[in-house]
Chains A and B, each alone.
Chain A
Amino acid sequence: MALLLLLILPLMGAALLGITGAHRRAPEVNAAFSLGTLLAACGLAVRVIRHGDLLLGREQFFIDPFNVFLVTLTAFVGLTTALFSRPYMRIELDHGRLTPGKLRLYHSMYQLFMFTMLLALTTNNMGLMWVAMEGATLSTVLLVTLYRTPASLEAGWKYFILCGVGIAQALFGTVLLYVAAEKVLGSQGVTALLWTHLDAVKSQLEPTVLALAFVFLLVGYGTKVGLVPLHNWLPDAHAEGPTPISAVLSGLLLNVALYTVVRSKVLVEGSVHSQLPSRLLMGFGLVSVVVAALLLWRQRDIKRLFAYSSIEHMGIATFAFGMGGPIANFAALLHMTVHSLTKSSIFFTAGHAAQNAGTQAMDRIRGLITLSPTVGWGLMLGSLAILGVPPFGVFTSEFLILTTAMRTQPWATPILLAALAVAFAAIFSKVQPMVFGETTGRPLPHAPALLPVFTHLAIVLLLGLYIPHYLADWYRAAAHLIGG
């Protein structure tokens, strides 16, 4: 029931808002649907925690601690982003960057996007997962080009083509997986793509084919995760789309993409019996961290800056999943959580900051703390949090990841740390002048909704100081599923 609600609500929302999305109260409706989704997600989470894994809808849906936690996170960030976008989009409307028609598209696609994400997370069918991922691209690509500026069109095009090509690779990988599975599970192909069945027989699957399948899946979904060198769409799409979309792309889509990669990895690793998947993940992770850290150095656009930071953090999480083991997996999940929360809150504040200054160019955003202290503090604290400064939760996960790396991959640790230091210098040297100093901007016509920002940051702070038991158990269970 909860699952049904979870999936139906956004779909209904998309339909309803597709008709009435330009209405004055549409943002509230949007938020209300998101709230409903969140409640459904919570209900689902409670059930999973109480009764264990769930198989629903003729085995087409499978809920375990790993994905239910991402479902909850997705629904939560979905709600806060909807809350944030309420005043944000109104201001955009006031500034004349949007028309009511576009707003309708935005609201409708927002809910559709939530639907595809939740579908990708909850489905048990690797094929359906692929469909949902493609759907996620399709539902957001028009949002990236919402402003119709040349740059946004370019970004949208790159997003579409690169992710489309990537996702085609993932499809080929899925086919190969199917081929291998069919051999074991029989030719009645209905079950051969169900993750639960695959998982049960994974050790019997033909290793070479699985290895090839993994490569295709990794390149495919990895494109969506934003792993270097497949990342090129990411900064463009984040920078040019409306800020709420940047927030959910960074905070949710990347997570879900990584989730699919990890699901694939679990299968392949069970079959291949070699270090290949782990090594590939670690390699991609490390390259992503290093290249992103270096590219951070050159950024001029505030949202682009944080887009690269997302690449960096996805790299860290990928690296951690690559290392495997209970602690690293735990840390990677934690990292996904805190990154998602922190990064979306940063995008919230960055969006308002850009509205304040009338530009996304960082050298023209100045003195936020004077003009709008909450935006300024939000950006400052969020940036510090994302840079891994304690007591925020990002530090916790990075601490666990780095210390694990020291044990299992000592060669990688100095590289990671150097990259983190470079990233720190790069981001902080750019954030500080934006937050501090004399202001140049003008106040906003609508009061910004900063409750989401500080809610996110408070959760991240809490996770840095104290991880509640049930949450820790939850993470542990999830980490165990991934192969801890």
Chain B
Amino acid sequence: MMHRLVHPVAAPFPMLLIGCVGLLLGWTVIGLAGLVRPRSVVLAGRLLFPLGALLGLALAVLAGASLLGGGIERLILPIGLPNLPMHLRLDPLSSIFLLLLGASSFGISLFAGGYFRVGEGTAPGLLCLQYHLFLAAMGLVLIADDAYSFLVAWEVMALASYFLVTTQHRIAEIRRAGFIYLLMAHVGAICLLLCFGVLQGGGWHFTFHAMRSAHLSLGWATVAFALALLGFGAKAGLVPLHVWLPEAHPAAPSPVSALMSGVMLKTAVYGMLRVGLDLLGRPVWWWGLAPLILGLFTIVYGVLFAAVQTDMKRLLAYSSVENIGMVFTGIGLTIVFAGSGLKVIAALALLATLYHCLNHAFMKSLLFLGTGSVLHATGERNLGRLGGLIHRMPWVAWLTLIGTLAIAGLPPLNGFVSEWLLLQSFLFTGHLPHAFVNLLIPMAMALVVLGAALAGYVMVKFYGVIFLGQPREAALARAHDCGWLERIGLTWLALGCVALGLFPLQVIRALGAVTHQLVGAVVPQSSSHWWLLAPVPDRSVSYEPLVFLTATLAVVLMTVLAVRLTYRQRERRGPAWDCGAGNLTARMQDTAEGFGQPIRHLFRPFFQIERELPEPTDRAPRYRVVVRERIWRLVYEPISGAVEGLANTAARLQQGRISVYLLYSFLTLLVLLAVALLR
């Protein structure tokens, strides 16, 4: 079958792009409409959010059309700087991320329509504005084609999400989270500003088009790449720049956490791809080592911290860190391959990266929304006070299970596909002409699989402690399932996970345009079997989730039938076995801390652990363990200490005595006069 690739030729009329801009404007208008009656839940929740969701769907459709068309559309709007009007561009890379934004925001917005209610800090109407501005800004980031528009959109995105994070600003912890978040976002944006400044390469044009054609020396190009890695890494949550992430995600309302984790982090990935593979032209292979190594470290770091968390949203946040690690590992591999001239394999690695982005958008949004429903139903984020919710909230529980299995990387769901692709691209590194990398790769691969396996551990902990077992608190008996809008949203995302898992081939075909754009190659497809996913033709490797699932389902059904038909036995309900000890209580179940224990034990150097152990004679023994990140002490505290020290030094300048101030003026005058005289 021919893959439908059109070579990048500017379309005469940017119809799809105008459509996208219109939809982004539509989001803005919807947001502003929320201000008409800011306190009305009905207006925001029942009308505006679902409307926004529909726009999201429309955006996904447009983006999908653009992706299949494979063309490039450009548009210049007469706003922005006087010398630099707003350049917009819709190409396959933008399209795939717009698709991601539109499709996942459809589910999230629907959910949000049912989620937000009065009395939770910010008024619904204002939330509606912030939320839709956030969406529109993310969209604009993806289609911006000059540095100024990009940065404006980038920071509006940060700002809107900051306000969303601090919805419940009365809680000091949340304020702190918001502050760290915005600070990191700003520092990241500063890096990006520098990066674009380097990228323009002296031509002094800040359109991306000019940057593509700028000729940078290797040194400057490397600087630009490093700055991009810093700037986008800070947004994506690459260790050690991830510190805002586990603070901000739990602080935000769940639909916002879902958007931030599922979509916003991907805009950083988009930026990294845009700069690393598009604006910088053909990358140098050893650039890839930085994202590769950082990504690997991030995987392990994120998943380990996820494993020891006791707050369900923090756990998911660290899991996002891990997944971002996966994505950056993929980016690193792509660059290593592309820089070494191995285009097809680079395309494979890029495919894995993009696929993982798509997957993560769906599954992490699903999980965050699931925790949102749990939070609403129980008011509890602490894993130690949850449990047994599968009985009370079957919709949430079963839909979340899909997300859990998907993110644990189990076939036939979507998480597995991208991990599979990533591992496949690792296995190709034998081709690389660099001995050092060839040695690095086995270790890298080991870390990736270790991370993937640990993710399974984390997810069992997450799901098991929240939904399974017996409720750990009496109050959980009053928990209720989520409303219909929320159900639709969750179902949409779960369906996305399943579809991405079952039809990888179709997705990969659609992604062909992107890989062609970025690395100049597409992963060839088997032409005989539409259901066969074979990444490279000269290797007989394949994966067919549909067949695979069918086989498994068939076997399971046959087993069920066989058992039912052959052994028609009664069954009885009874209390769980108590080992004869009597009075088992729900609190005797293993806890989240317990689940963290082996990890804490095994990977002690990663953690900074504070433990409070009970004495043997305690009447009310209490066990408490707090796990902190060493990163704070190793990186951030020295920085803030240094600034503090400098500030104190600067403060010595100002002692309050006017004589001293006059002396400053005097000396300044004398020194400058001398300078002027001697010049």
Contacts and interface: CB of A to CB of B under 8 A. Distances in A.
A422 B193 CA distance: 16
A467 B84 CA distance: 11
B148 A276 contact: no
B183 interface: yes
Nearest to A233: B661
B668 interface: yes
B662 A162 contact: yes
Contacts of A429: 179, 183
Given A230-B664, A464-B152, A436 B676 contact: no
A218 B148 CA distance: 34
A391 B197 contact: no
A233 B664 CA distance: 12
A160 B356 CA distance: 65
A229 interface: yes
Most A CB within 10 A of own CB, among B79, B169, B202, B673: B169
A297 B79 CA distance: 36
B583 interface: no
B677 A212 contact: yes
B197 A294 contact: no
B665 to A, nearest CB: 5
A232 B664 contact: yes
A472 interface: yes
Contacts of B474: none
Given A158-B658, A295-B650, A437 B175 contact: yes
Nearest to B663: A229
A422 B187 CA distance: 9
B193 A436 contact: no
A216 interface: yes
A228 B664 CA distance: 9
A135 B154 CA distance: 46
A395 B155 contact: yes
A424 B644 CA distance: 14
Given A166-B665, A232-B664, A274-B679, A406 B169 contact: no
A406 B194 contact: yes
Contacts of B156: 390-391
B140 to A, nearest CB: 10
Contacts of B650: 291, 294-295
Contacts of A402: 193, 197
Contacts of A166: 665
Nearest to A232: B661
Given A230-B665, A413-B194, A429-B179, A215 B672 contact: yes
A421 B194 CA distance: 13
Contacts of A158: 658, 661
A169 B664 CA distance: 14
A419 B643 CA distance: 10
Contact of A472 (B82, B166, B661, B662): B82
Contact of A229 (B152, B194, B668, B679): B668
Dominant SS among interface residues on chain B: helix
B612 to A, nearest CB: 30
Contacts of A208: 676-677
Interface string B147-165: 0100111111011000000
A464 B202 CA distance: 24
Contacts of B152: 390-391, 395, 464-465
A98 interface: no
Nearest to A396: B81
A294 B669 CA distance: 24
Nearest to A369: B169
A389 B160 CA distance: 11
A157 interface: yes
B204 interface: yes
A165 interface: yes
Given A391-B152, A420-B190, A157 B644 contact: no
Interface in A367-398: 367, 369, 384, 387, 389-391, 395-396
A437 B170 contact: yes
A280 B186 contact: no
Interface string B383-402: 00000000000000000000
Contacts of B672: 215, 218-219, 280
Contacts of A435: 169
Interface string A27-66: 0000000000000000000000000000000000000000
A97 B82 CA distance: 47
A469 B85 CA distance: 12
Contacts of A327: 83
A403 B210 CA distance: 15
Interface string A413-438: 11001001110110011001101111
Contact of A403 (B178, B182, B206): B206
Nearest to A216: B669
A298 interface: yes
A422 B643 contact: yes
Contact of A421 (B170, B186, B648, B673): B186
B197 A469 contact: no
A466 B170 CA distance: 36
A211 interface: yes
B654 interface: yes
Contacts of B644: 297
Interface in A417-473: 417, 420-422, 424-425, 428-429, 432-433, 435-438, 464-467, 469, 472
**Which of B80, B156, B661 gathers most chain A CB within 10 Å?**
B661
A114 to B, nearest CB: 28
B653 interface: yes
Interface in B79-96: 79-83
B435 interface: no
Contacts of B80: 465-466
A368 to B, nearest CB: 11
B647 A165 contact: no
A248 interface: no
Contacts of A466: 79-80
A298 B643 CA distance: 11
Interface string A294-317: 110110000000000000000000
B198 interface: yes
A93 interface: no
B198 A406 contact: yes
A400 B81 contact: yes
B646 interface: yes
Which one of A406, A407, A433 has the highest number of Cβ atoms from chain B below 10 Å of its Cβ?
Answer: A406
B1 interface: no
Contacts of B166: 432, 436
Given A165-B662, A232-B654, A436-B166, A424 B183 contact: yes
A215 B646 contact: no
B363 to A, nearest CB: 32
Contacts of B647: 294-295, 297-298
B187 A219 contact: no
Contact of A211 (B151, B651, B676): B676
A393 to B, nearest CB: 11
Interface in B526-584: none
B665 A165 contact: yes
12 contacts: A158-B661, A212-B677, A215-B669, A215-B675, A229-B664, A291-B653, A295-B647, A298-B647, A327-B83, A402-B197, A433-B175, A437-B169
Interface of A: 157-158, 161-162, 165-166, 169, 208, 211-212, 214-216, 218-219, 223, 228-230, 232-233, 274, 276, 280, 291, 294-295, 297-298, 327, 367, 369, 384, 387, 389-391, 395-396, 399-400, 402-403, 406-407, 413-414, 417, 420-422, 424-425, 428-429, 432-433, 435-438, 464-467, 469, 472, 476
Closest 10 CB pairs of A and B: A436-B169, A472-B82, A406-B197, A297-B647, A390-B152, A390-B155, A294-B650, A211-B676, A232-B661, A466-B79
Given A219-B665, A297-B643, A403-B206, 12 more contacts: A161-B658, A232-B661, A232-B664, A276-B675, A387-B186, A390-B156, A402-B193, A417-B193, A421-B187, A436-B169, A437-B170, A469-B82
